[in-house]
A = this chain, B = another copy of it.
Amino acid sequence: MAATAKAGAVGPGRSTSAYSEVQHNRLIVSLPLPSVLKSPFSVVDGPPSSAAGNPGEIAKLFPNLFGQPSVSLRPGTSGAALNHNLKIGVVLSGGQAPGGHNVISGIFDYLQEKTKGSTLYGFRGGPAGIMNCKYVELTADFVYPYRNQGGFDIICSGRDKIETDEQFNQAAETAKKLDLDGIVVIGGDDSNTNACLLAENFRHVLSLREGKGLKTRVIGCPKTIDGDLKCKEVPTSFGFDTACKIYAEMIGNVMIDARSTGKYYHFVRLMGRAASHITLECALQTHPNITIIGEEVAAQKQTLKSVTNYIVGVICKRATLGYNYGVILIPEGLIDFIPEVQQLIAELNEILAHDVIDEAGSWKKKLRSQSHELFELLPQAIQEQLLLERDPHGNVQVAKIETEKMLIQMVEAELVNKRKEGSYTKHFGGQSHFFGYEGRCGLPSNFDSNYCYALGYGAGALLQSGKTGLISSVGNLGAPVEEWTVGGTALTSLMDVERRHGKFKPVIKKAMVELEGAPFKKFASLRKEWALKNQYFSPGPLQFVGPTSNDINHTLMLELGAKA
């Protein structure tokens, strides 16, 4: 097709001939749909919506969209004429999450089955693909090999944002050029905020041009393994379920290794910089001896020293019980939750910008006393890393610190003190792990496969009914798939504002681990037992058939239960 040829260096897509047996078996598994999507349905508006915070500012930022109702799909036809022959674009935004390919399969199948003669374009390489009009036409042959498969490689992803007027104009040009009826943005909190801005902007152009211009609607889909995009209407983001199960397999294996070897403490850092959902979920799945939850560390204003002391305390108690091994889970973003570390980093950035770091260390006098103390507490390798490795702006690269290794060194140093005191007599051996990339592109679990397919299919329905500025919302997830609810939530209703560079910016606030929520409370009620008794739980590799294959992650189950 001409459209395909125009897209430039487009790969040939995947060939199933290079598929492993397991991939192949997943490919041919049929995908169930919620029953509301299987029969004629109508899209029913709810009451007018508001915003998560500062509705006045959100109203100003989204004059066209603010207040619009969320919608739900109900059995029966509305009698309203539905558009056929749609032209829809889809884009993947941000980091990979298992299930993205099924969202696209869901949109594709909706268009095939309900809107004959429609066309689906995939924008390549994320939002930049929209701005640069880089796309591929997604045909049945092209899409098929990606069903139930991991990765985002069908059209790849990217981290660009459509933010400036010029970028909005570029996006509008593409929408006009392709005569798009709609765009589906598959992404996290930032990407869905951007999707809403795009929807607002297209609507704005539409109203300016009195209906002659842009008809393009925008629908979002909730994606992120981190699990930090969720609310009442959007119970979970896709990918979280699969990623946690992959990590839990590995953690379970490491636990059995720890118990068998009997001489190592395994410090496992898990992906998830902003929120600790993954770490909490993995703890609920595997019952480690120690789990650090960033949100709790922040709420209790813990210091690096107090976190270290907590770990050391458990290790010493375990030693008296005869256990010289254990497993400790740490969220990737731990450091960001510790106020004193943030303070030290801020001071270091200031000093590094203006002063010479002399070997004698007289520069340290410029640190406040608490920061100085903290700096001296850090292992030498971390000190050097803080001083030497800077980003292009000259700032300390906090993200590069391997938190699990830093904690091992700090725990080791403190245990040396305990030995001197006589309160610890064993030899401490730490092993570090980081589980991250291996979880983002695994074969999606049955849950993520089905959930994503419904999200995509539902997004198709929302676009066909002419909706914009909604995030595809599938609910009642604790029930069998047939009973799942389908609808769309007004993106503006999820928004608040933040002040950046003197301006209000709309944001969908990240959903953090709630210390009063059911998942954390369950963890908190069990952790003492897990610390001293060994109640390791080893889920094993993800099975796609059999009794475990439809299990849903603990976090979602507990949250659904807590709301029921």
Contacts and interface: CB of A to CB of B under 8 A. Distances in A.
A80 interface: no
A528 B410 CA distance: 45
A272 to B, nearest CB: 16
Interface in A116-151: 125, 150-151
A538 interface: yes
A437 B20 contact: no
Interface stretch (A31-39, A259-267, A413-421): A259-267
Interface string A242-286: 000010011011101101111000100000000000000000000
A153 interface: yes
Interface residues of A, number: 55
Main SS at interface, chain A = loop
A96 interface: yes
A546 B25 contact: yes
Contact of A542 (B26, B250, B322, B541): B541
A436 to B, nearest CB: 9
Interface string A500-511: 000000000000
Contact of A546 (B156, B254, B260, B545): B545
A257 B20 contact: no
| Most chain B CB within a 10 A radius of its CB, from A18, A96, A257 | A257
A96 B261 contact: yes
Interface in A1-26: 9, 18-23, 25-26
B253 A20 contact: no
B18 A253 contact: no
A253 B150 contact: yes
Q: How many copies does the complex hold?
A: 2
Interface string A520-564: 000000000000000111111111111110010000000000000
B22 A541 contact: yes
A322 B12 CA distance: 14
A349 B205 CA distance: 73
28 contacts: A20-B537, A20-B540, A20-B548, A21-B548, A21-B551, A22-B539, A22-B541, A26-B540, A96-B260, A150-B256, A151-B257, A151-B259, A152-B261, A153-B256, A156-B260, A156-B261, A253-B437, A253-B440, A254-B438, A431-B437, A433-B437, A442-B540, A443-B538, A541-B541, A541-B543, A543-B543, A543-B544, A545-B546
Query: What are the 7 closest A-B residue pairs judged by CB atoms, nearest first?
Result: A22-B540, A151-B256, A541-B541, A256-B441, A152-B260, A21-B548, A257-B441
